[in-house]
C-alpha cells in the first residue's frame, strides 16, 4: 500500500469510528474534507500514470446507459437479451473484462447500453477493473444498477461510486464559491444554515486551500455538499435499479427486497427467463427524458416523419449539432412553435431550451448557403 493509500485508509477509519455529535461535528467535517482532498490526489496520480485511457468506448446513439453491478449478477446476459450484442456470460466472476456496447431502440431513439466488468468493493482504489468502470460511469447519461438476490447490497455499490466522485440521483449543491488573493474568507448565506452554522464551513474550506474569497450558501447545505462544491469534479448521474434472477423470488421476498431498496423502485426481471424486460426498457426510455423536435424548413411544411431526438434540457445549439450542414456557423436565429414558445413563431437564440414536440425553423445568416433543406 502506498502511503497515500494508508493516509486514506486511516482517515476513513477515523470517520467510521468517531460518533457524530455537536462536539465532534467540526472534527468530522474537517476529516471528511481531508479525505476528499486525499482522494482527489489519488485521482490526479492515477491520471498521470495514464491508467485506463485505452478503455474509453465511443459513445453512440441518443443516450448511453451503463450497467453497474457486482460480478455474476447477470449484466452480460441482460445486455444480450436487450440488444444484438454477444457479450460472454458464465457462472464465474469477472467473465466480462472490457466494456461491451449494445444498441437498443425505444420509440424513435437509439439507446447505447454498456456492459461492464463487475464492480467490487475497493474499486476506487483500483481493485478489479474498478477504476476503468468508474471512469466510464462518469460519462454515461444513466446508470442501470443490476443486483440479484444474493448480491443485493445496493448501498455498498453506491458508496463505491460516491468514493469516485459520482453522485447518484442528486443535483449540484447551491453554493457559490469565489477564490480571491487576499482579504480572508467570507461566508454568507441567503437561507438559515443549520448544518454548517457557526463558522463550520471555514475549516472545511481551508482543507481545500481556500483561504481568500467567498462562499455563498443558497441552500442549507451539509458538510458533504460543501465538500462536493469545493472538490469541483463531481458528476451527477441519474440511476435506475433492476433486480435480476427474479424468477427465484417469491412474492414475499420481492416485497421485502423492494422495501429494503427504497427509495429506489426496482424493476424485477429475469434475463434468463425473459421476464420484466419490456417494463425495464420502458423505465429506461422514460428516465432518459427524450424529446422529439420537428424541423420546419423555411416556406415548407413541417417534417413530422422524422423528429430529431434530443433530451430534456437540450437547447437550439444541441439541435444545430444534429442537423446537416454547417448550421453552427451560419445560424442566425430560430423560430419556434410549441410548448417552449411563449407565443407561436417566437424568435429565439441558441440558448433556448426546447420542449417535446416543438416545431423549429432555423434561419441562417443572409449570404450563407441554404443549409436546411
Ligand X SMILES: Nc1nc2c(ncn2[C@@H]2O[C@H](COP(=O)(O)OP(=O)(O)OP(=O)(O)O)[C@@H](O)[C@H]2O)c(=O)[nH]1
Q: How near is the Cβ of 168 to ligand X at its closest, in Å?
A: 19
Considering only 90, 176, 197, 365, the residue that binds ligand X (CB under 6 A) is: 90
Q: How near is the Cβ of 284 to Mg ion at its closest, in Å?
A: 18
Considering only 51, 61, 71, 170, the residue that binds ligand X (CB under 6 A) is: 71
Which cell numbers in the block locate residue 91? 457462472
Q: How near is the Cβ of 22 to ligand X at its closest, in Å?
A: 44
Is the backbone peptide bond immediately before 304 cis, with ω within 30 degrees of 0?
no
Q: Which does 135 bind (CB under 5 to 8 A by kind): Mg ion, ligand X, none?
A: none
Of 95-103, 125-133, 194-202, 360-368: span binding Mg ion (CB under 5 A): 95-103
Query: Rounded CA gap, 132 and 124, in Å?
Result: 9
67 vs 202, beta carbon nearer ligand X: 67
Altogether, the residues listed in the chain come to a count of 373
Q: Which does 270 bind (CB under 5 to 8 A by kind): Mg ion, ligand X, none?
A: ligand X
Three-state SS at 97:
coil
Q: Is 74 in the site for ligand X (CB under 6 A)?
A: yes
Query: Rounded CA gap, 345 and 360, in Å?
Result: 9
The single-letter DSSP state of residue 15 is H
Which cell numbers in the block locate residue 30? 474537517
Considering only 66, 101, 118, 307, the residue that binds ligand X (CB under 6 A) is: 118
Considering only 73, 142, 336, 348, the residue that binds ligand X (CB under 6 A) is: 73
Strand ranges (E), 154-232:
166-168, 175-179, 185-189, 213-217
Of 31-39, 162-170, 268-276, 351-359: span binding ligand X (CB under 6 A): 268-276
Q: Is 277 in the site for ligand X (CB under 6 A)?
A: no
Give Cα separations from 227 to 6, 27, 38, 320 (angstroms). 21, 14, 12, 37
Query: Rounded CA gap, 45 and 38, in Å?
Result: 11
User: Is the CB of residue 230 less than 8 Å from the CB of residue 204?
Assistant: yes
Phi-psi region of 75 (alpha: psi -120 to 50; beta: other; left: phi over 0): alpha
Strand ranges (E), 7-69:
63-68
The single-letter DSSP state of residue 289 is T
Residues 212 to 251: which contact ligand X by CB under 6 A? 244-245, 247-248
Contact code string over 40-69 relative to ligand X, x by CB under 6 A:
-----------------------------x
Which cell numbers in the block locate residue 312? 430534456
Q: Which does 94 bind (CB under 5 to 8 A by kind): Mg ion, ligand X, none?
A: ligand X
Query: Rounded CA gap, 151 and 17, in Å?
Result: 26
Considering only 7, 25, 95, 139, the residue that binds ligand X (CB under 6 A) is: 95
Which cell numbers in the block locate residue 246? 427474479
79 vs 246, beta carbon nearer Mg ion: 79
User: Is the CB of residue 315 less than 8 Å from the CB of residue 352?
Assistant: yes
Q: Which does 93 bind (CB under 5 to 8 A by kind): Mg ion, ligand X, none?
A: ligand X
Residues 340 to 369: which contact ligand X by CB under 6 A? none
Considering only 31, 36, 39, 76, the residue that binds Mg ion (CB under 5 A) is: 76
Q: How near is the Cβ of 25 to ligand X at its closest, in Å?
A: 40
Size of the site for ligand X (CB under 6 A): 24
Considering only 64, 80, 83, 96, the residue that binds Mg ion (CB under 5 A) is: 96
Q: Is 72 in the site for Mg ion (CB under 5 A)?
A: no
User: Is the CB of residue 213 less than 8 Å from the CB of residue 180?
Assistant: yes
Which cell numbers in the block locate residue 254? 420481492
Q: Which residues bind ligand X (CB under 6 A)?
A: 69, 71-77, 89-91, 93-96, 117-118, 244-245, 247-248, 270-272
Q: Which residues bind Mg ion (CB under 5 A)?
A: 75-76, 95-96
Amino acid at each position: 500500500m502506498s502511503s497515500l493509500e494508508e493516509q486514506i485508509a486511516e482517515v476513513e477509519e477515523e470517520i467510521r469510528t468517531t460518533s457524530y455529535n455537536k462536539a465532534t461535528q467540526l472534527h468530522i467535517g474537517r476529516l471528511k474534507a481531508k479525505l476528499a482532498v486525499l482522494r482527489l490526489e489519488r485521482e490526479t496520480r492515477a491520471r498521470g500514470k495514464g491508467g485506463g485511457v485505452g478503455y474509453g468506448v465511443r459513445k453512440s446513439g441518443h443516450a448511453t446507459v451503463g450497467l453497474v453491478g457486482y460480478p455474476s449478477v447477470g449484466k452480460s446476459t441482460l445486455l444480450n437479451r436487450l440488444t444484438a450484442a454477444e457479450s460472454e456470460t458464465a457462472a464465474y466472476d469477472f467473465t466480462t473484462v472490457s466494456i461491451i456496447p449494445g444498441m437498443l431502440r425505444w420509440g424513435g431513439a437509439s439507446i447505447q447500453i454498456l456492459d461492464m466488468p463487475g464492480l467490487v468493493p475497493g474499486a476506487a482504489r483500483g481493485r478489479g477493473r474498478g477504476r476503468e468502470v468508474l471512469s466510464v460511469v462518469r460519462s454515461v447519461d444513466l446508470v442501470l444498477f443490476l443486483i440479484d438476490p444474493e448480491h443485493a447490497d445496493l448501498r455498498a455499490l453506491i458508496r463505491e461510486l460516491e468514493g469516485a466522485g459520482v453522485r447518484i440521483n442528486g443535483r449540484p449543491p447551491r453554493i457559490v464559491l469565489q477564490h480571491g488573493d487576499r482579504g480572508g474568507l467570507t461566508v454568507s448565506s441567503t437561507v438559515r444554515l443549520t448544518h454548517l452554522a457557526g463558522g463550520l464551513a471555514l475549516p472545511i474550506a481551508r482543507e481545500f486551500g481556500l483561504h481568500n474569497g467567498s462562499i455563498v450558501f443558497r441552500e442549507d447545505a451539509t458538510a458533504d455538499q460543501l465538500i462536493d462544491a469545493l472538490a469541483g469534479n463531481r458528476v451527477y448521474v441519474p440511476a435506475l435499479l433492476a433486480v435480476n434472477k427474479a424468477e427465484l423470488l417469491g412474492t414475499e421476498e420481492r416485497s421485502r427486497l423492494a422495501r429494503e431498496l427504497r427509495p429506489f423502485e426496482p424493476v424485477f426481471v429475469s434475463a434468463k427467463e425473459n421476464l420484466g424486460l419490456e417494463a425495464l426498457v420502458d423505465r429506461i426510455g422514460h428516465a432518459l427524458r427524450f424529446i422529439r423536435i420537428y424541423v420546419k424548413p423555411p416556406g415548407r411544411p413541417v417534417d413530422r416523419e422524422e423528429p430529431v431526438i434530443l433530451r430534456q434540457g437540450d437547447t437550439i445549439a444541441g439541435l444545430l449539432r444534429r442537423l446537416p450542414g454547417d448550421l453552427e456557423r451560419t445560424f442566425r436565429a430560430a423560430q419556434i412553435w410549441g410548448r417552449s414558445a411563449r407565443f407561436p413563431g417566437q424568435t429565439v437564440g441558441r440558448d433556448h431550451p426546447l420542449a417535446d414536440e416543438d416545431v423549429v425553423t432555423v434561419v441562417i445568416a443572409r449570404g450563407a448557403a441554404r443549409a436546411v433543406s
